[in-house]
A and B are shown apart, each in its own frame.
Chain A
Amino acid sequence: MIEEQTIIPILPETLVAETRKMRDQGYRLVQICVTRLGEELELDYSFDLNRRFVNFRFRQPKIGARVPSITSVYWCAFTYENEFSDLFGVQVDGNALDFKGTFYMTAMKHPFIHDAAPIPTAAQPLPGGQ
């Protein structure tokens, strides 16, 4: 069976207000996800109430993205907000528990906004191949 998934486009300015409405109805925060689409980032905030799945979506520029924190509504969002600010370099305003870029120990800053580096292959020089 395929579940129904509602995707609602919203504006970043109304994010906190819309989220508060969901909280008042008793929704649970499922996840926050950032997708890189060319020069833009797409942010998804997903909620669930009795397996009814609702998703808020808006876009931000890849460089200099800035979103308000929803930790005042869902305190548990701090993990997701630290995650995407570390991996995508999105600036989060007002995070209740801000790790300031140390949540993930990555070798490079904001790795997920760049193209993936080539995978190091097995390819030791071929024995006897030359």
Chain B
Amino acid sequence: MAFFQMKKMILGWTFRTPVTTRYPFAPRKICPGSRGRLDITIANCIFCSVCAKRCPTDALVVDKANKKWHIDRLRCISCGYCVELCPKKCLALAGDHGIPTVTKDMETF
């Protein structure tokens, strides 16, 4: 019967630095290949609307007539389906997740 089995671990960690980071002051290390914010190179976009039609959460709205591309950041789930479908490969997922927001706005490109 072992009492206080934890002691080895606790003693071991007494002299180590914490594994947590002070988040807002020390930003998180971005992992390459992580699925984050959806970015568009608007110059290459042909406004074909494939991304908007197939988006699982209907986060994208493509305005063909005015050549505008809108995204609702709070609906986007960063799944990357649109990135795979885009015929001009002008969409990409950035590694970071963008800054927090307090309003529900459509972002326009």
Contact = CB atoms under 8 A, between A and B. Distances in A.
A116 to B, nearest CB: 15
Interface residues on B, range: 10 to 19
A124 B58 CA distance: 11
A122 interface: yes
Contacts of A121: 58
B70 A127 contact: yes
B96 interface: no
A119 B58 CA distance: 10
B59 A122 contact: yes
Nearest to A119: B58
A129 interface: yes
Interface stretch (B11-19, B25-33, B41-49, B61-69): B61-69
Interface residues of A, number: 9
Contacts of A129: 63, 65-66, 68
A94 to B, nearest CB: 42
Interface string B43-57: 000000000000001
Interface of B: 57-61, 63, 65-66, 68, 70, 72, 75, 106, 108
